[in-house]
Chains A and B, each alone.
Chain A
Amino acid sequence: MINRSRNLFMLFALVLSLLFLTVGCGKNSSSEATPARSTGTGQSGQTTSLDGSTKDKPQSDEPLVVYLNDFDEMIKPLFEEATGYKLELVTGNGAEIMSRIEAEKGNPHWDVVWMDAMPSIHQLGKSGQLLEGWIPKNYENLTDFAKAFVPENHSYYPTGAHAAAVLVYNTKAFTRETAPKSWDDLTKPAFKGSLGMADPAVAAPAYPFVAWFFQNKGMDGGKAYFDALFKNGAKVYPKNPNVAKALTGGEIKVAALQESNAYTLKNQNEPVEIVWPEEGAPASVRVVAIQKQTKHLEAAKAFVEFLLDPKTQQKLIDQGEEAYFEPSAKGATPKKDRAGQAKLVVAEADWAAQHEAEIKQWFADQAVK
């Protein structure tokens, strides 16, 4: 009753169609780079004031698509009002956004990415996925600290830096005198079993935090340092909010915590105090980059100029959720309650990108033991 050979043929046809589909994708990596929507408003031609680069590309009615991990509540109206360009956002945590970008490599849907994941974006630049060589007008207005992060090929620009971790202690457990003052203090017996930190394999800012130690102390030195922390009973939580919760809940008494999270706790009158270690707090740098094949180059450039504008950065500090950071533009001032001598130290982007896989794997396996 059943025709065996016919069935086999059909199965073969299915497998063939799979091959057909996948070969189809191999060929498409060039042209189409925009989403299949056209909800444009026709406003894009109205303003060219920011950098006057109207001649770069034909104008488009489609909105500019920005992938980002913070400030999504406020940036859209601010930018649309300031420039007249239409904006569409895709929000996610750093890892989600990077996964999307990676999966879309054959047919990117994003025009601009703006995230505090400098090593990952540096890697995008190295693999030729970012617009290179363009220098925004606002470049000259960057602080010296910020200028140091701009790569040679000018594929991305910093919009600010925040401490990936500062020391935070529970004031019920420690006083100003007994609290840890430097990162090395954490290996002391006084803090046995009381430390918690975020997992660099999961939390976006936790990698820049550990990367600085590894670059500073060398790979072996870095491993020895974190080994000592683990031996001292350090607990690793998936993300910074988890660390914050463990700290206020009493599971841990000292935390290496991202600064906006830390100041949020303080502003909520939780019994915590923040310590900026003298040797510096390892920082995560937020950078903005333009996709190489973008069809909306003009709007994308306007967006970068907009973010590098001190007025914009001041608004992010005054109204934003992740408001605690050091702005990259001269003229913008950080939050007043942020420590005046907040010293940030940063692992070199290229070094951090190269060692990312190795360090994260070491951490993941270490935490299991």
Chain B
Amino acid sequence: MGWFVLAILFLLILLPLAAVILQVLLPGIFFGKLTVGDLSLLFEVFRRPLWLLSLKNSLLLGIGTTLFAALLGGALAMVRAKWSFPTARWLDVANWLLIITPSFILAQGWVMFASSGGIAAEWFGWGWFHSLVFNPLGLIAIMTLSKFPLAYLTVYAALEWKEKRLHDAARLNGGSAWAVLRTVDMPLLLPAYFSGALLIFMDTVGDFGMPASIAAVFRFPTLPYSIYTALYTSPIRFDMAGVLSFYLVLLIALAMGLQFYVLRKSRYDFLTARATRYEPQKPKRFAMLLTTGNLFFLAIVLGIPFGSNLLMSLSDSTTTSGIKGLTLQHYEQLFRNGGPLLESIQHSIGIASIAALVGVILGFLVAYVLTYSLFPYRQVIDVISLISFAVPGVVLGIGYIFIWNQAWLKSVGLLLYGTPWILVLAGIAGAIPITTRIMVGGMAKIPKTLLHAAQVQGAGGIQRMVSILFPLLRAAFLSSVLAAFGTTVFDLAITSILYPPNFITLPVSINKAFENLQFGYASAVTLTGGGLVILIILIVQLIFKENRFHGGRGME
């Protein structure tokens, strides 16, 4: 299975990327010429002021956001898993909203709120808010408030089962609740925390939308932004984009190395036959505190970006220079021209559904190989499985054109470029890092011995998965398929470079509206499309939640 997984990842992720990087070494190779490229480009990143600054900015933003967002997301997941309180469900909804919303939309919301003529200054008289947000620390804060759900998801998925005896033992020995958390829960959740942190790191250093939107107000170039300019500046420099992508991949490799180093020290597979499901408890004293805290938190993380977008979608003005009155014209326009828009929503949802389902199967297989097999190139698989998250979609998109647009593929019926299938493939590639990380986080606590025991009893590979892993990983499956679906629906970068003629997708139409100054219309499309996606996610969750209650009380 190791080889199968490696081959799939190779084809979907590494090959397109390698194709772009190959341009650095052999610039003419895809056009029938063999020339040797200029390798000094590799070091140009330390010479050109813009690139050096981009690298530094990416590092700063990546590390800062990872640190804060992993702690925040993990802590929230633990609170949510431990206690039930009114409005707790809203926190889940908020997480999904933040995960599926394209970062450029979130950033636009923040910009609309905090820019000098924005809502904060105009409505609340908070002139100081501008300088609070538009500096490196402020950006890290915005990023943290947008990316923490990735840690929330991984940690929450890992909290599906617990070993109650470990808690009981700790409490019996006189440990306080805090001591149990510190010495039992936190250490056992370390792999989940790291999975989430790594996702956040990737997503942050690879994010293009946020720096691009913020750049309108505050200049903070990052690597993806510079890759974008290299790629989208005539004469087009695939080689430079390749070089800069190489540095992004290097950053991931370093982050993974760190994770590997930390996790190597101990074992995290702790579940036994006595594990019980986590059931949130009613807090005795501070339900009120949790509820108000939650509401306050949601008001910030959702209220600011989505509130600004909502206001924009309802306002009778296409710019931020003050609201001239409320109107439903943008929504009306949306349904009046409903044909093409509806079509783009259908396209995006269709592609995202296939990509999420295939992605979750592949993610499971990858995680299985990483966790349980003796495959010698596990590390290689680990790195490749994450690359597509960090490498900007535009770079991967161009790699996809190189690989899937070769004339000879037509004779074997595989000329996928120019058909919707190329978007499905790219969607799967984008989904793999998310599904894999969530699965790895979930599998880390399921010991091999469970599988070995079944094997000794004569259970085959498939039976072992179906009867042991699937039930134990149900939350992880659900989280990863929905997260993959949600992020693929709005993945702008890759669809904008790959979408076939007359096959517009939702993010492409949103972005076009933004580029044409139609902020109100763009916001209306975003909120409508996003609302629909959220609805789908909630329904799916509800269906599987139902099942969960019938699914038994534990492993006994």
User: Which A residues are closer than 8 A to B by beta carbons?
Assistant: 1-2, 4, 7, 10-11, 14, 18, 21-22, 24-32, 35-37, 63, 65, 88-93, 95-96, 98-100, 102-107, 109, 117, 119-120, 123, 201-202, 207, 236-239, 241-242, 244-246, 248-251, 261, 264-265, 268, 270, 321, 353, 356-357, 360-361, 364-365, 367-369
Cross-chain contact A245 with B320 (CB below 8 angstroms): yes
Cross-chain contact B415 with A36 (CB below 8 angstroms): yes
Give B211-234 as 1s and 0s: 1 = Cβ < 8 Å from A's Cβ atoms: 010011101010000001101111
Give B274-300 as 1s and 0s: 1 = Cβ < 8 Å from A's Cβ atoms: 000000000000000000000000000
Measured between beta carbons, the chain B residues less than 8 angstroms from A264 are: 318, 517
B496 at the A interface (CB under 8 A): yes
Tell which of A93, A106, A237 has the most Cβ of chain B within 10 Å: A106
| Interface SS of chain B | loop
| A-B residue pairs, 8 tightest by C-beta | A95-B232, A249-B117, A28-B407, A88-B501, A248-B321, A242-B216, A103-B401, A32-B407
> Contact residue range for chain B?
35 or more
Interchain Cβ contacts under 8 Å between A and B, 21 examples? A18-B18, A22-B29, A37-B500, A90-B500, A95-B234, A98-B236, A99-B236, A100-B497, A103-B398, A107-B407, A109-B417, A117-B234, A207-B234, A237-B215, A244-B319, A245-B319, A246-B216, A246-B217, A249-B321, A356-B233, A361-B48
User: How far apart are A1's CB and chain B's nearest CB, in angstroms?
Assistant: 7
- Give Cα A241–Cα B108 distance, bound, in whole angstroms: 13
Residue in chain A with minimal CB distance to B316: A268
Interface set, chain B 26-45, CB cutoff 8 A to A: 29-34
B512 at the A interface (CB under 8 A): yes
- Give Cα A353–Cα B29 distance, bound, in whole angstroms: 24
- Give Cα A100–Cα B494 distance, bound, in whole angstroms: 12
Cross-chain contact B216 with A92 (CB below 8 angstroms): no
Given the interface pairs A107-B407, A249-B118, the reply to whether A21 lies near B15 with Cβ below 8 Å is: yes
Measured between beta carbons, the chain B residues less than 8 angstroms from A368 are: 49-50, 53, 219, 221
Measured between beta carbons, the chain A residues less than 8 angstroms from B7 are: 14
Measured between beta carbons, the chain B residues less than 8 angstroms from A106 are: 30-32, 402, 405-407
B260 at the A interface (CB under 8 A): no
Give which listed residue, A99, A237, A365, contacts B216 with CB less than 8 A. A237
Cross-chain contact B512 with A91 (CB below 8 angstroms): yes
- Give Cα A2–Cα B376 distance, bound, in whole angstroms: 8
- Give Cα A104–Cα B397 distance, bound, in whole angstroms: 12
Give which listed residue, A99, A119, A207, A353, contacts B231 with CB less than 8 A. A99
Residue in chain B with minimal CB distance to A70: B516
- Give Cα A248–Cα B324 distance, bound, in whole angstroms: 13
User: How far apart are B438's CB and chain A's nearest CB, in angstroms?
Assistant: 27
Cross-chain contact B410 with A36 (CB below 8 angstroms): yes
User: How far apart are B190's CB and chain A's nearest CB, in angstroms?
Assistant: 28
Given the interface pairs A37-B418, A37-B419, A238-B215, the reply to whether A96 lies near B408 with Cβ below 8 Å is: no
Given the interface pairs A28-B408, A249-B118, A249-B321, the reply to whether A21 lies near B234 with Cβ below 8 Å is: no
Residue in chain A with minimal CB distance to B22: A22
Cross-chain contact A96 with B496 (CB below 8 angstroms): yes
Tell which of A1, A25, A103, A364 has the most Cβ of chain B within 10 Å: A103
Cross-chain contact B32 with A29 (CB below 8 angstroms): yes
Measured between beta carbons, the chain A residues less than 8 angstroms from B194 are: none
Tell which of A119, A365, A368 has the most Cβ of chain B within 10 Å: A368
Cross-chain contact B402 with A27 (CB below 8 angstroms): no
Cross-chain contact A245 with B216 (CB below 8 angstroms): yes
Cross-chain contact A105 with B31 (CB below 8 angstroms): yes
B309 at the A interface (CB under 8 A): no
